[in-house]
Each structure stands twice: as structure tokens, then as C-alpha cells.
Amino acid sequence: MPKYTSLYASFIEKLNYFNWLGPLALRLYLAPIFIGVGAHKFANWNDMVAWFGNPDWGLGLPMPALMVFLAASAELFGGLALLLGAATRLVVIPLMMTMIVAAGTAHWDNGWFAIAPGDPDTSTAKVLATVGIPAAQRSLENSVGVGERVSAAKSILRRHGNYSWLTEKGNFVILNNGIEFAATYFIMLLMLLFCGAGRWVSVDYWLAKRLCKGWQNCC
């Protein structure tokens, strides 16, 4: 047993040499997403303000211009900071708040899935339904209807359209627009909040090494 314990400890020690790869991967994954959506909000300012403020076909938020400015700024400048690994633990906080607001206002009523599953047998909700969670059972029932509609749409397109050309870039799906992506991004940002930007390839690392006495805990 001590032999295996020693081997495991040695494995963990060597693994620590590469512990900067996890935060780097998270940053490089999230940065272009937030930069893109933030820039899109600024580039389409009037449309975004109208959507944020309209209670009939939009989000119905108060002070929509301010809300768009705060969301777009957090996303654009937060994404740039993530790319550089600068003030990472700080910039993820407004980004996490943005994800909470997005999930609660734009996606909550649509359930979990971003893309509605069309087969209840392969839906991840099936596991939760087996333990008696009502929302999961409703999701499985919804999957049946989604599958029927996707099949009907494909049948129509095969009869009346160039189906091979239409699906050349990907298959048709029903966009559910649930909280799945917002929740996933929130969890990834939460990881960065606790682990920081990582070593070697972040501004935080080099600043902390230069300015902080206990610099290993500062980045």
C-alpha cells in the first residue's frame, strides 16, 4: 500500500507542473464568447435596448439602456481580461452576475436545454426522471413532441426542397434556448474565481510574482 501511495503522490507532484493548463483552457474558451456577445450588443445598441426593455416581446427590464451598457461592458471588457489573464478573479464576478441575470430573464422559462432533445431515450433528463423529478418527466414528454416536429419538418423539406444542400452545414434542430449554456458558463467562471488565471501565460501571474510576497496565492 505505501508503494501505491508513493506512486500516486509522485503522479500528483508531476501533474502540478501542468496545473496552469486548466485555467488557460477555460480562459481561451470563454474569452471569444464574451468578447463576441459584448461587441454584438454595442454594435446593435438600439435593437438591444429595445429588446431589453420591451415587456411584450423582450425581457421587460427596467432602465434598459443602462442594463445593456452594464451587460455589454462586462462581457466585452471581461472577455478581453480573460484573454490576457488580467484581474481574472475580479472580472469573473460581473460575468457570473450577467449569467445569473441572463438565465433568470431570458432563458428560465424555457427549461434547461439549449437545444431541445428529440429522443427521450437518449435525453439526459431520463436519468433524473427515474428518480421521480417531475420537471425531468415533463422534459421527456416534451422530447416526444420535439421529435415528431423535427421528423415532420425533415419530411417536408425532403419532399419540397434540396435536403442535401439544406443540411450540408448541419442538421435541423429545435432551439429551446434554455439555461444550459448560461449555467455552464457560470460554472466555468466559478472555477476561475477559485483557481485564478494560472501560471506562465497570464498577466496576473507575472504581476503577482513581481508585486506580491506570497505571489503563489495572488494569481
Q: Check if the beta carbon of residue 197 is closer than 8 Å to that of residue 23.
A: yes
Report yes or no on 200 lying in a domain: yes
The three cell numbers locating residue 97: 452576475
* Residue 197 sits in the same domain as residue 208: yes
pLDDT tens digits for the chain (219 residues)?
Answer: 676 788 888 888 888 889 999 999 999 999 999 999 999 999 999 999 999 999 998 999 999 999 999 999 999 999 999 999 999 999 999 999 999 999 998 888 888 888 889 888 888 888 888 888 888 888 888 899 999 999 999 999 999 989 999 999 998 888 888 999 999 999 999 999 999 999 999 999 999 888 876 656 666
Q: Check if the beta carbon of residue 20 is closer than 8 Å to that of residue 78.
A: no
Burial 144-172 (b: 16+ CB within 10 A, else e): eebbeebeeeeeeeeeeeeeeeeeeeeee
Is the model's pTM score more than 0.85?
Answer: yes
Which residue, 55, 51, 82, is CA-closest to 67? 51
Domain holding 154, by residue range, is: 116-174
List phi, psi (to 5°) of 193. Answer: -60, -40
Report yes or no on 5 lying in a domain: no
* Residue 93 sits in the same domain as residue 192: yes
* Residue 51 sits in the same domain as residue 128: no
Report yes or no on 10 lying in a domain: no
* Residue 216 sits in the same domain as residue 198: yes
Count the domains in the chain: 2
Say which DSSP state 61 is in.
-
* Residue 120 sits in the same domain as residue 219: no
